[in-house]
């Protein structure tokens, strides 16, 4: 099956000489359509840079990126923006909601940017806010929402254009356990729906919700774990030792 | 003491880190101080040439004109008159120089120097039979020199010399221009109109000359002559002082914008300083010290530049003797320094104090202000909506930028109105009394000054526009990076922010037009000018789109630059 | 205990006293109650099982010392042990730690690889527990119970990250 996202010999270095940081060092990656992939690793291992490169927020120093069969690593700023609108949704650690806009307006934003009519954007935003359980907070500004609520708004915003790929950078990084649980549930539902997810995180819990897990260290992939959806035989019986 | 040192160290480091900003601040304040220096120097210089010339020519305290010799003889014996000389026959003739024909006033004089009103010969020699002496400003307009041939009343004369006088205002302030002949030659010349007599007077109390003139018809006091003779310097002075005010407002706005932008950029730094134990006073002092340092530097630059440029403006017209030195007096230095410091301190103090008062936690937590919901309708294009929401949150900056636009447009309108009046004045200065083709030194100088002021003002306004846009794009760095991550193109971001900028700018520019007309009307009222101040509606209509186009272009530059920066670093550092 | 002692002998032959000192050095305060007898009992059992051999080394001023050495069977068992992933519901930290120390000192395996293998195991388990937890309605009692299991596994995983960072920083040996 053709991967929806493919990166080959992807490279991004910062600094020079002794200060050289190989943030992403000749990485190869294939993400199948409908797959939920988590990239884990200690902070500074290059996983956020990788996400930025794949989402065209940053330019690679070398290598190729293909999204849905289209080469994207050499697109102009404008072309990249146009592609991002319809093909990629982002969820960030710091939520990155637009402070000046209400929850509903934040969700509408990418739809309006993509040229949806105000009415269509409004309808989709309302449906998505309902779906993330925040229909009653639609008119609130981000400052008036809790961290978990903000991140759920951000997820709704990432979904508004129904992108083929959802990129999440430490989506639970700024949240307490309960709020992280809300967001986790949401991502698990998205996975179950068969959305293609790429989550970069050092939260093992959200990583464990993925189908496949890649460990990154010093700019390279060092380990890979496939987490079968049916479990691999541990069974709940084995859990009794844990509780 | 240590705290002071800390404040100055912080100020100095900050200056070195933001050289471009410091430079623009310096330019803005220096433009203002230069103009003020010029204005003050011109004001000081206006009196000096007159006094010099009056002393050199034994200038009269009053000048009486009559057609009846007996009336003048009676006047010579009137109360308050200390001395008088034999009246000079005075009448108009047709003067021919090369192929130019122009009216001139002839005064018949003795070949011996007069006790009162003794023209001071600056080149050539005083009268001989068959020769004329030409008043210097008139001579310059005619372009004649000693030795040239002229005709007066159809008779040929040689120009013996060129002289200045304070018995009559120089050409073209009083037209026709003045030439002197011997009394004998004067008697033989055919007059174009009635012959009159002019008698210079020495009064017992020169300062009471206006009162004396009021009692005796046909008498002009020296004060009136002086005012008339130095009219162009006074006009120039008025233009410069008005210009300084406008420039001071613009420079103040410039400082305020810069400080506001810097605070937006530095609020985290301020928070860190305060977390490290700096008191609000130290923080405010550091900002203030930094800008006052620039202000002092700008005052020095302005004084030197104004002094260097002053000969261009303070040289009197050719009708008076130049005064040698126009060095700034202590008063001028103090005034310029005070203006620079005042403008800067006022513009800095408010935001600096506010920045210092923000709680430490607030400053550290988030550079973004708590959002305020203002009635911005949401049915607009999405990037314009974003831009407007951001502008609505930056009320102070929006107001400052709008003020800058309004002041600039107002001053441009005033300059246009003045230009029209000057042109109209020039149009009126034609006819048999005026030398065809010769410029009018009075209006030429004023036009020059207005042009220089307009250029300085446009420069400052441009700096303000760029600074506003710079501060806005700094504020919106995160939001626009975010919007781009969500699929907004750099062009959408730029056009949205610029469009959001243009709405208040358009309102301000529209308001600037009546403001400019009002300023000019007030200036005319103060100067008792008879000018109409009328500006064609079409011109006013043209000012608006031109100003807006310029603002849009200037705003687009920094905004566009910010909108094409890589997204990832911006999103990860906030 | 047997596997740890065997692994410590993999690098080079040693006598009982040395082995005990190495263990105590690695364990710090936790090794204080490790007495010499425990080590010697373990060594005797290993000898009986044919995993180690004993050689007497003469000393001039003292009685001869016993130096223990791995047999090929012992070598095989050490390798197997190092490659083996602990499948216990909650692996004891000390066991894994000693295995990592032994792997590092013997040079027979990369401790980071062992950590990665263990992490894979824990992640699979975490995924299972989590799915079970997510299948429960939010806020229910069973969900709360499973939440406890999830948090413990997360704690273990975090410790594994610390182990990986510790041994990634220093070259093995």
Angle made by CA atoms B96, B99, B100, in degrees to the nearest 5: 55
Q: How far is CA B411 from CA B31, B225, B249, B401, B457, in A?
A: 15, 32, 11, 15, 8
Same domain, B440 and B573: yes
- Collect all residues of chain A within an 8 Å Cβ-Cβ radius of residue C143: none
Residue A221 phi/psi, 5-degree rounding, is -80, 125
The count of domains in chain B is 3
Shared domain check, C173 and C106: yes
Q: What share of chain B is helix, strand, coil (3-state, %, to 5)?
A: 65, 10, 25
pLDDT at A4 over 80: yes
B203: phi then psi, degrees, rounded to nearest 5: -100, 155
Got the DSSP string for B323-346?
Answer: PS--PPPHHHHHHHHHHHHHHHHH
Contact A164, A84 (CB under 8 A): no
Q: How far apart are CA B402 and CA B408, in angstroms?
A: 10
Looking at the structure, tell me whether residues C94 and C41 fall in a common domain: no
Is the model's pLDDT at A121 over the cut of 60? yes
Q: Is C131 on the interface with A (CB under 8 A)?
A: yes
To the nearest whole Å, the CA of A85 is away from the closest chain C CA by: 31
Nearest to A151 by CA among A136, A130, A168: A168
Same domain, C8 and C55: yes
- B480 shares its domain with B396: yes
**Separation between Cα atoms, residue B426 and residue A1, nearest integer Å:** 86
- Give the integer Cα–Cα distance in Å for A182 and A176: 10
3-state secondary structure of A218: coil
At residue A95 the predicted structure's pLDDT band, cuts being 50, 70 and 90, is confident
- Domain closes at, from C32, C61, C84: C84
Assigned domain for B87 exists: yes
User: Which residue among C54, C69, C84 closes a domain?
Assistant: C84
The answer for B147, left when phi > 0, alpha when psi is -120 to 50, beta otherwise, is left
- Beta bridge mates, B92: B105
Q: What part of A 141-170 touches B (C-beta under 8 Å)?
A: 141-143, 157, 161
Buried b (16+ CB within 10 A) or exposed e, C34-54: eeeeebeebbeebbeeebbee
Cβ contacts (< 8 Å) between B484 and chain A: which residues? 77, 81
Instruction: Compute, in degrees rounded to 10, the torsion defined by CA atoms B329, B333, B336, B338.
Output: -130
**Where residue C43 sits, what CATH number does that domain have?**
1.10.10.10
pLDDT in the model for residue B376: 46
Nearest-by-CA chain A residue for B392? A100
Mean per-residue pLDDT, C21-46: 80
Same domain, yes or no, for B401 and B533? yes
C60 with C105, same domain? no
- How many domains is chain C built from? 2
Closest to B456 in 3D by CA, of B21, B38, B23, B32: B32
* B452 and B561 inside one domain: yes
DSSP element (H, E) containing B563: helix B537-563
pLDDT at residue B232 in the model: 66
**Class for the domain spanning A3-228:** alpha beta
Backbone φ, ψ for residue A226 (5° rounding): -100, 120
Residue-number span of the structural domain to which C153 is assigned: 86-173
Asked if C77 and C92 sit in the same domain, the reply is no
Strand A220-226 to B149-152 pairing? unpaired
- Asked if B318 contacts B140 with a C-beta cutoff of 8 angstroms, the reply is yes
- For residue B533, give both structure tokens: 């101040």
Alpha helices in A102-213 (DSSP H): 103-113, 118-131, 147-159, 177-192, 204-207
Does one domain contain both B411 and B558?
Answer: yes
Place of tokens 């100003």: B547
Please compute, for residue C53, the number of CA atoms within 13 A of its CA located in the half-sphere on the CB side: 7
Same domain for B129 and B273? Answer: no
Q: Are residues B320 and B400 in the same domain?
A: no
SS3 B220: strand
Answer yes or no: do C73 and C95 share one domain.
no
Residue in A with minimal Cα distance to B369: A99
Question: Chain C contact for A188, CB < 8 A?
Answer: yes
Classify residue B182: in a domain, yes or no: yes
In a domain, B101, yes or no: yes
User: Are residues B308 and B192 part of one domain?
Assistant: no
Domain that holds residue B424: 381-574
According to DSSP, residue C87 is labeled -
Task: List chain B pLDDT tens, one digit each, 574 residues.
Answer: 566 777 777 777 777 777 777 887 888 888 888 878 877 777 666 667 778 888 888 888 888 888 888 888 888 888 888 888 889 999 989 988 888 888 899 999 988 888 888 898 888 888 888 899 999 888 888 888 899 899 888 889 999 999 988 888 888 777 788 999 998 888 888 888 888 888 888 888 888 888 888 888 888 888 888 877 777 666 667 777 777 777 777 777 877 777 776 666 666 566 666 666 666 666 677 777 888 888 899 899 988 888 888 777 666 566 677 665 667 778 888 888 888 888 888 877 776 666 666 555 555 444 444 444 444 444 556 777 777 777 777 777 788 888 888 888 888 888 888 777 777 777 766 777 777 766 776 677 777 777 877 887 788 788 878 877 877 777 777 778 888 888 888 888 888 888 888 888 888 888 888 888 888 787 777 665 656 667 778 888 888 888 889 888 888 888 888 788 777 777 765 4
pLDDT tier for residue A38 given thresholds of 50, 70 and 90: very high
The alpha-carbon gap from A59 to the nearest alpha carbon of chain C, in Å, equals 29
Q: Which of C92, C117, C129 to mutate to test the interface with A (most CBs of A within 10 A)?
A: C129
Whether residue C164 contacts residue C112, with contact meaning beta carbons closer than 8 Å, is answered with yes
Return the pLDDT at C173: 41
Q: Show me where the domains of chain A are located.
A: 3-228
**φ and ψ of A173, to 5 deg:** -60, -30
Q: Do B487 and A85 touch (CB under 8 A)?
A: yes
Considering C84, C107, C122, which residue would you say is the last residue of a domain? C84
| Chain-chain contact of A236 with C132 (C-beta, under 8 angstroms) | yes
pLDDT tier for residue A125 given thresholds of 50, 70 and 90: very high
**Cα separation of A91 and A166, whole Å?**
8
Mutate which of A205, A220, A240 to disrupt the C interface (most C C-beta within 10 Å)? A205
**Chain A residues with beta carbon closer than 8 angstroms to that of C149:** 239, 242-243
Residue A37 Rama label (left phi>0; alpha psi -120 to 50; beta)? beta
Q: Is B435 exposed, middle or buried (0-12, 13-18, 19+ CB in 10 A)?
A: buried
C86 pLDDT more than 80: no
> How far is CA A169 from each of CA A107, A208, B365, B436, rounded to the nearest angstrom?
18, 15, 21, 81
Nearest CA in chain A to B481: A57
**CB of A217 within 8 A of CB of C122?**
no
- Measured between CB atoms, does A109 come within 8 Å of chain B? yes
**A207: chain C residues, CB-CB within 8 Å:** 123
- Confirm whether B68 is domain-assigned: no
């Amino acid at each position: 099956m053709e991967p929806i996202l493919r990166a080959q010999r992807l490279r991004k270095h910062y600094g020079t000489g002794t200060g050289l940081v190989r943030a992403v060092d000749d990485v190869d990656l294939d993400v199948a359509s409908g797959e939920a992939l988590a990239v884990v690793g200690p902070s500074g291992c290059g996983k956020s840079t990788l996400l930025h490169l794949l989402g065209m927020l940053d330019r690679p120093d070398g290598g190729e990126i293909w999204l849905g069969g289209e080469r994207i690593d050499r697109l102009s700023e404008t072309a990249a923006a146009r592609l991002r609108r319809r093909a990629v949704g982002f969820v960030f650690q710091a939520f990155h909601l637009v402070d000046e806009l209400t929850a509903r307006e934040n969700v509408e934003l990418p739809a309006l940017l993509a040229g949806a009519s105000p009415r269509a954007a409004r309808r989709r935003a309302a449906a998505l806010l309902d779906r993330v359980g925040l229909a009653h907070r639609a008119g609130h500004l981000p400052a008036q929402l809790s961290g978990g609520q903000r991140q759920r708004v951000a997820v709704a915003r990432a979904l508004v254009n129904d992108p083929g790929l959802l990129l999440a950078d430490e989506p639970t990084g700024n949240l307490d356990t309960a709020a992280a649980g809300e967001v986790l549930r949401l991502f698990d539902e998205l996975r179950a729906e068969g959305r293609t997810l790429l989550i970069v995180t050092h939260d093992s819990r959200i990583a464990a919700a993925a189908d496949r897990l890649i460990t990154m260290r010093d700019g390279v992939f060092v380990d890979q774990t496939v987490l079968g959806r049916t479990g691999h035989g541990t069974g709940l019986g084995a859990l009794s030792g844990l509780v | 003491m240590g705290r002071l040192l800390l404040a100055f160290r912080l100020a100095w480091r900050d200056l070195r880190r933001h050289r471009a900003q410091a430079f623009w601040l310096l330019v803005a304040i220096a433009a203002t101080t230069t103009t003020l220096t010029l204005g003050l120097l011109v004001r000081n210089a206006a009196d000096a040439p007159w006094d010099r010339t009056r002393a050199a020519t034994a200038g009269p305290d009053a000048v009486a004109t009559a057609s009846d010799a007996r009336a003048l003889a009676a006047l010579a014996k009137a109360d308050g008159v200390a001395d008088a000389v034999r009246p000079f026959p005075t009448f108009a003739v047709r003067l021919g120089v090369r192929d130019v024909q122009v009216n001139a006033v002839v005064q018949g004089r003795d070949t011996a120097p007069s006790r009162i009103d003794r023209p001071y010969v600056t080149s050539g020699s005083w009268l001989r039979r068959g020769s004329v002496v030409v008043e210097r400003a008139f001579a310059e307009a005619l372009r004649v020199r000693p030795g040239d041939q002229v005709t007066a009343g159809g008779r040929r004369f040689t120009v013996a010399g060129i002289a200045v006088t304070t018995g009559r205002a120089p050409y073209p302030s009083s037209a026709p221009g003045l030439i002197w002949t011997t009394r004998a030659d004067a008697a033989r010349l055919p007059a174009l109109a009635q012959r009159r007599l002019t008698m210079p007077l020495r009064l017992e109390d020169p300062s009471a000359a206006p009162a004396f003139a009021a009692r005796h018809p046909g008498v002009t006091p020296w004060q009136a002559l002086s005012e008339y003779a130095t009219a162009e310097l006074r006009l120039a002075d008025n233009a410069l002082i008005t210009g300084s005010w406008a420039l001071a407002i613009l420079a103040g706005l410039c400082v305020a914008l810069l400080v506001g932008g810097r605070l937006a950029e530095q609020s985290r730094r301020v928070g860190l300083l305060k977390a490290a134990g700096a008191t609000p006073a130290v923080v405010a002092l550091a900002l203030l010290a930094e800008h006052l340092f620039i202000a002092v530097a700008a005052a020095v630059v302005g004084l030197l530049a104004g002094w260097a440029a002053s000969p261009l403006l303070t040289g009197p017209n050719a009708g008076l003797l130049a005064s040698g030195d126009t060095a700034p007096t202590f008063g001028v230095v103090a005034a310029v320094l005070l203006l620079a410091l005042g403008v800067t301190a006022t513009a800095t103090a408010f935001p600096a104090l506010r920045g210092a008062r923000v709680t430490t936690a607030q400053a550290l937590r988030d550079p973004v202000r708590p959002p305020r919901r203002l009635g911005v309708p949401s049915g607009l294009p999405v990037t314009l909506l974003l831009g407007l929401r951001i502008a609505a949150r930056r009320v102070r900056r929006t107001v400052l930028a709008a003020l800058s636009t309004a002041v600039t447009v107002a001053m441009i309108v005033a300059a246009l109105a003045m230009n029209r009046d000057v042109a109209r004045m020039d149009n009126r200065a034609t006819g048999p009394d005026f030398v065809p083709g010769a410029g009018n030194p009075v209006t030429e100088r004023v036009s020059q000054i207005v042009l220089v002021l307009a250029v300085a003002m446009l420069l400052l306004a441009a700096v303000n526009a760029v600074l506003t846009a710079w501060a806005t794009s700094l504020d919106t760095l995160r939001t626009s990076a975010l919007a781009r991550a969500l699929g907004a193109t750099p062009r959408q971001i730029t056009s949205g922010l610029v469009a959001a900028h243009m709405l208040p700018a358009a309102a301000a520019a529209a308001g600037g037009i009546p403001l400019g007309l009002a300023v000019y009307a007030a200036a005319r009222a103060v100067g008792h000018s008879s000018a109409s101040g009328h500006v064609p509606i079409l011109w006013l209509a043209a000012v608006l789109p031109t100003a807006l186009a310029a603002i849009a272009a200037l705003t687009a530059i920094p905004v566009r630059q910010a909108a094409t920066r890589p997204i990832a670093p911006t999103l990860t550092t906030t | 205990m047997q596997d740890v002692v065997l692994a410590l002998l993999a690098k080079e032959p040693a006598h009982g006293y040395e082995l005990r000192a190495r263990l105590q050095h690695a364990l710090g305060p936790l090794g204080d109650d490790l007495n010499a007898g425990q080590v010697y009992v373990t060594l005797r059992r290993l000898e009986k099982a044919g995993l180690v051999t004993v050689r007497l080394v003469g000393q001039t001023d003292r009685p001869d010392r016993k130096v223990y050495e791995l047999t090929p069977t012992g070598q095989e068992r050490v390798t197997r042990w190092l490659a083996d992933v602990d499948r216990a519901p909650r692996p004891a930290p000390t066991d894994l730690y000693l295995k990592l120390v032994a792997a590092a000192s013997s040079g027979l395996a990369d401790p980071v690889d062992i950590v990665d293998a263990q992490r894979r195991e824990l992640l699979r388990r975490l995924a299972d527990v989590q799915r079970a937890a997510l299948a429960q309605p939010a806020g229910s009692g069973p969900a709360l119970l499973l939440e406890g299991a999830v948090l413990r596994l997360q704690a273990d995983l975090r410790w594994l990250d610390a182990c990986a960072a510790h041994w990634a920083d220093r070259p093995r040996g």
